[in-house]
Chain A
Amino acid sequence: MLKVQDLKKVYKNKVALQGVSFSVKSQSAIGLIGDNGAGKTTLIKCISGLVAPTSGSVYFDNVNLMKNPKYIHNTVGVLLEGARNLYHFLTVDYNLNYFGYLNQLSSIEIADRKAYLLKMFDAEKYKDQPVNELSRGTQQKIALMVTLMKNPQLLILDEPTLGLDLVATIRMTDLLRQIIQEEHKTVIIISHDMTLISGLCERVVYLKNGKVDFDEQINSIVNENIYEVKIKADSSLEEEIQSFDFPVRQEDGIYVLEVNNMEKMMKNKILKDNVISIEKQVNDLAHFIKMRSL
């Protein structure tokens, strides 16, 4: 299990993380999402030891990663944004060999692992091609293969489908699903692609201004019935509306509420009498995030 406890990171002029805490069960995947600058990349860099946190701790399998950097190197694999773990002038084979050696695998282990990954990723045909001659989608696949060479227990992926076309995104999602299922890894995925997150992760952690804004099971989000309720805007109703914890916005002289408990709302006679319309929403993760971040 990965446990992040009260992680803070303060740069000279900026607070990047303000006490982030969450956990990830072993062999499960979570999505880490949030606006640009919310602190996602700083958070994964703190977990992987690339950035020293100001305070807080990270435990993986009850080992304090802050105090045992060697444990990070043995167990954590990180794919940073934009296939940035490849030597683009080298062939795929050279890259896999090189990182195999740096991860202290023997020649036999490298050959075995390479054969397994090349088969899994259907990349045999690219083996002898320089990375810079491959398509963006294939480069991303190779970058993931390089990350997987050391067979990490904890896999952190930063925007694994960024810049990929639809077909490449679908292929990458399938590959990641296969890796999670076959290699039993604990996975953290940063992405703005909600289809990828909801397709692969059990939970989603939403970061806002360096804090965890919410941490919820995706199933409960998607299965929840959400209704868009429009109510005449009237200052006398404001207090009634605020008494509920429903997200609300104002549009052209009306209040628009996102209601997940109609029964509770309809018990309020004042609001009930002012309803203009009720519409059931298609509740996917993207919609949920949009409503929560408004």
Chain B
Amino acid sequence: MRRLIKAEWTMLIGEIKQYYLNYIFYNTGMVILFFGLFYNYYSEADDTKVLAMLICAILWQICTNGLQYLCYLIQDEAMMGTLEQMFLTRTSFFSILFSKIFVNMIFVILKGIILFFICAVLFHKVSMLMSVGLLKYIEIVTVIIITVFSFYCIGGVFGGLSLYYKRISSILNVVNYFLLMFTGIIGDINSYNVFLRYIIRIIPVTNANILINEILSDHVKLQDVLLFAETVLIFFVGGNVVLNLLIKKAKREGKLGQY
């Protein structure tokens, strides 16, 4: 696994070198988005709310990245022709995906931390960072890592679908905006109607947002922790099972090499 991770790190660095302009502007876009969120919704809010918004917005950004990751990866690899080669190497396809996810996840979380500090400086909220204890940060980062990993896994469903429908970025856009608008980043989830409230509690990022708010305000509820764990598990198992089934189907229908 160490060698695989080294290989994926090599690949990531190679990609960044090649597409650095795109990376710079993608992240600039995120700073502008968070800046807009802050000035339009949170400029008058207290420090804890601003901090929770910022963390949840970065979590949303990392989760959408995770959700899209396998889809775009499979699309790109299929287009280049390297997808079939991945199936021909001595390493299992799922191990390759896992190492790719691991490296990408570390990278986007590090990027998220940098983004977090840039926004804190831009919002003149550096002092609020100091008011939160180290233990809370550790708890929050743990929640973020687990949530993000579950999104990478459920991204397998979209990855599998991209084997059939080739370009499905519009489906991902629908999901991304839904997550931004209805998972408690911009609004209060208690203000949604009952049906929507049930639906969004199936999504780990909603439960993560609730947990992060609870951690920051020292009111962590056990039932929220359990619900968070359950939804993460469902995303993890669901993503793996569906991707596996879709790959088998793609092999039967000869779709692996098609683009």
Contact = CB atoms under 8 A, between A and B. Distances in A.
Interface of A: 9, 11-12, 16, 42, 45, 48-52, 72-74, 76-78, 80, 82-91, 94, 97-99, 101-104, 106-107, 130, 146, 150
Q: Give the interface residue-count category, chain B.
A: 20 to 34
Contacts of B88: 48-50, 72-73, 76-78
B91 A104 contact: yes
Given A101-B4, A103-B90, A94 B251 contact: no
- By DSSP majority rule, is chain B's interface helix, strand, loop, or mixed? helix
A282 B90 CA distance: 46
A85 B85 contact: yes
Interface in B58-112: 80-82, 84-91, 96
Contact of B82 (A86, A91, A101): A86
A50 B257 contact: yes
Contact of B257 (A72, A80, A90, A98): A80
Interface stretch (B10-18, B39-47, B136-144, B145-153): B10-18
21 contacts: A16-B254, A45-B257, A48-B88, A49-B87, A51-B252, A74-B90, A76-B88, A78-B84, A84-B82, A84-B84, A85-B84, A86-B82, A87-B11, A87-B80, A89-B18, A89-B19, A94-B10, A97-B7, A98-B7, A101-B6, A102-B86
Contacts of A88: 80
A50 B84 contact: yes
A83 B81 CA distance: 8
Given A77-B88, A102-B91, A90 B254 contact: no
B4 A102 contact: yes
B219 interface: no
B188 interface: no
